[in-house]
Amino acid sequence: MSFEGVKKVWMNGRMVDFADAKISVFTHALHYGSGVFEGIRCYETARGSEVFRLTEHMERLHWSGKIYRMEIPYTVPELCAATLETIKANGFKACYVRPLAYRGFGSLGVNPLPNPVDVLIGVWTWGKYLGTEALEEGVDVCVSSWTRLGANTMPAMAKTTANYANSQLIKMEAIANGYHEGIALDDIGRISEGSGENLFLVWRGILYTPPFASSALPGITRASVVRLAKDLGLEVVEQMIPREMLYVVDEVFFTGTAAEITPVRSVDKIKVGSGRRGPVTEKLQKAFFDLVEGKVPDRYGWLTPVG
């Protein structure tokens, strides 16, 4: 990723120069993880710059806030309009968009409620999340020794900044041991997700993915892949998945805004299938990238032109 070329940040309804986009050291979210956020991609398509599933991302931002009794002072359409404005103000053709709603400056202490809810939208360029070769070659992953957020501890359906303390533990451990990424299990030992991606397994032509109740974020790329897979005639099963299934299936891949659709070629040094990207993963990647790059019509209405 790179902040090169970033010019403006949208802060509480105003477009601010990047160099002046500053917050207080006593911002509540900095001390207590009281922020909810999104990650969205703007693609350069054959038709111009278009944002992928913008409304769905802003709806998730709103529900993340609701779980934390945080009323976001901008509606979903207002946030969508602000996103397009921010992309235009920065002049990027393709970029990553980061909306963040957080408890701001006013009162420190665990109780977040006395603080204002501030909102910012920043953009930057983000290439291939798990390395340039990852999309074709696949990545090497481990099952993490860290468990994903336990039931009734940190709500996994909320995309809150605080949840990423757990993600960082998973990610750092994976990197320290020479892997690209870690897959975490939930608190009863079923497969949950990666540090920043949902997970799919392909076995005998059927796709499997863990349910939200396995502490997996309701990913927007996940939902998109389910739809694309069904339209390609593939069966998709959402069910709790035992760890050992990772070692026997034909294909494994991650999905996420940043990771897009990234094949997994080994888990715990055990080859997945033939040890390279499998045919179902490749088919889904093609369907996904053809759509977001505007090579085929936007038949689902998933793309919003920046204008």
Can you give the binding site for ligand PPE, defined by CB under 6 A?
39, 167, 193, 196-198, 217, 219-222, 255-259
Nearer to ligand PPE, 64 or 167 (CB): 167
Active-site position among 88, 159, 171, 269? 159
Angle between helices 54-67 and 76-90 (to 10 degrees): 120
Rounded Cα distance, 274 and 261, in Å: 18
Q: How far is the CB of 75 from ligand PPE (least distance, A)?
A: 20
Whichever of 8 and 222 has its CB closer to ligand PPE, that residue is: 222
Cβ at position 258, least distance to ligand PPE in Å: 3
Q: Is the dihedral of CA 97, 102, 105, 108 positive or negative?
A: negative
Q: Which is nearer to ligand PPE, 207 or 259 (CB)?
A: 259
In the complex, minimum distance from the CB of residue 111 to ligand PPE, in angstroms, rounded to a whole number:
27
Determine the residue with CB nearest ligand PPE: 39
Q: Is residue 128 among the annotated active site residues?
A: no
**Smallest separation, CB 54 to ligand PPE (Å):** 12
Q: Which is nearer to ligand PPE, 27 or 257 (CB)?
A: 257
Q: Which is nearer to ligand PPE, 115 or 257 (CB)?
A: 257
**Shortest spacing between CB 184 and ligand PPE, in angstroms:** 9
Q: Which residues are catalytic?
A: 159
